[in-house]
């Protein structure tokens, strides 16, 4: 069901600061876009109760989790649903770079004892949103936070995420890798499901199994696995970024 909240319409020409690996403009007709539409259908259109909040993570850095999160947000917003992409990688934020916008400041609000209560106020939270496409807004992280895992596990962050879930049909959360720090494990218990990204080129089967075990131990609902950068068959790549293969956890 669509929310009444919607981001202001933006023309494609205004997306000039976007990374060329994002699925905008003509790229929406590419084979990789079709792969992301398949992923969208697998997660949100297969019947039953669709997850409202989804964490996107991986075993290690460089596996394409942030790009997967951003592109999934783009194709999901094309269904007329409102979508928020929250950058919860407070150590190495990337989402704002992909969309060519300035770093946000929502962590600063949550860290300020005098403002933390505003995490429950939709009007205040809405002012932190950066609209990037029709029905799609991002919440960029600002400068690296000193103790990110403590902030992400705090009641004020939980309230902030819950507020976003009332404002948007879907909230996608980009987090640090599971194998690097505890942040993703902390976040996994706060969302409806987890999408796990594995880069084919890394050949990280054993570490990936370990990361999935870690998520299992914290009670995460792993919705599926995206195998990224699989060697492309002819005509199956766009911009050097190969289509993901989607599988069950």
Among 9-18, 32-41, 97-106, 198-207, name the one with the lowest average pLDDT: 9-18
Q: What distance in Å separates the CA atoms of residue 88 and residue 140, rounded to the nearest whole number?
A: 8
Taking residues 127-138, report their average pLDDT: 95
Q: Confidence band (pLDDT; 50, 70, 90) for 83?
A: very high
- Are the C-beta atoms of 6 and 82 separated by less than 8 Å? yes
pLDDT score, position 117: 92
Residue 249 reports pLDDT greater than 90 = no
Helix axes 65-77, 31-44, angle to 10 degrees: 80
User: CB-side exposure of 52: number of CA atoms within 13 Å?
Assistant: 13
Q: At residue 228, does pLDDT exceed 50?
A: yes
Q: Sketch out the chain's domains with CATH numbers.
A: 29-42+51-247 (3.40.50.300)
End-to-end CA distance of the chain: 27
- Give the model's confidence band at 247: pLDDT under 50 very low, under 70 low, under 90 confident, else very high: low
Nearest-angstrom CA–CA distance, 78 and 169: 13
Cβ of 234: how many Cβ atoms within 10 Å?
5
As a whole number, the mean pLDDT across the chain is 85
Burial of 108 (0-12, 13-18, 19+ CB in 10 A): middle
Kindly give the residue spans of alpha helices, DSSP state H, lying in 5-117.
31-44, 65-77, 95-98, 106-111
From the list 220, 98, 92, 85, the residue with the least C-alpha distance to 148 is 92
What does the pLDDT average to over 120-125? 96
Helices and strands (H and E) in the chain: how many: 9, 10
Sequence-separated (6 or more) residues with CB below 8 Å from residue 128: 104, 105, 106, 109, 139
* Rg of the chain taking only CA atoms, in angstroms: 17
In tens, the pLDDT along 44-60 reads 876 557 899 999 999 98
Lowest mean pLDDT among 57-61, 65-69, 139-143, 203-207: 203-207
Residue 31 has a pLDDT of 84
What the block records as the tokens of 134 is 């029709």
Question: pLDDT tens digits, residue range 163-187?
Answer: 999 999 999 999 999 977 899 999 9
**What span, in angstroms and rounded, lies between the C-alpha atoms of 72 and 98?**
13
- Across the range 228-248, mean pLDDT stands at 55
Share of the chain above pLDDT 70, in %: 84
Predicted pLDDT at 232: 62
Q: Which tens digits make up the pLDDT trace of 3-18? A: 545 444 444 434 458 9
Confidence of residue 216 (pLDDT cuts 50, 70, 90): very high
Q: Is residue 175 a contact partner of residue 183, using CB atoms and an 8 Å limit? A: yes
Q: What is the value of pTM for the model shown?
A: 0.87
């Amino acid at each position: 069901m669509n929310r009444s909240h919607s981001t202001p319409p933006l023309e494609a020409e205004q997306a000039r600061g976007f990374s060329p690996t994002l699925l905008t403009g003509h790229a929406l007709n590419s084979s990789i876009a079709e792969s992301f539409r398949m992923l969208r259908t697998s997660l949100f259109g297969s019947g039953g109760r669709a997850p409202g909040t989804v964490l996107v993570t991986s075993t290690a850095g460089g596996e394409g989790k942030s790009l997967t999160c951003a592109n999934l947000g783009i194709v999901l917003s094309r269904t007329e649903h409102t979508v928020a992409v929250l950058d919860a990688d407070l150590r190495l934020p990337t989402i704002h770079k992909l969309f060519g916008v300035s770093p946000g400041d929502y962590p600063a609000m949550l860290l300020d004892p005098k403002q933390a209560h505003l995490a429950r106020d939709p009007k205040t939270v809405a002012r932190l949103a950066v609209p990037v496409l029709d029905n799609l807004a991002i919440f960029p992280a600002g400068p690296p936070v000193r103790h990110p895992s403590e902030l992400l596990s705090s009641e004020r962050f939980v309230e902030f995420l819950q507020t976003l879930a009332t404002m948007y049909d879907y909230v996608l959360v980009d987090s640090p890798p599971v194998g690097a720090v505890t942040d993703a494990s902390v976040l996994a218990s706060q969302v409806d499901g987890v999408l796990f990204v594995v880069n084919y080129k890394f050949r990280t089967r054993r570490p990936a199994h370990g990361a999935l075990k870690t998520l299992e131990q914290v009670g995460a609902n792993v919705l599926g696995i995206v195998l990224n950068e699989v060697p492309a068959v002819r005509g199956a790549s766009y911009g050097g970024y190969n289509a993901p293969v989607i599988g069950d956890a």
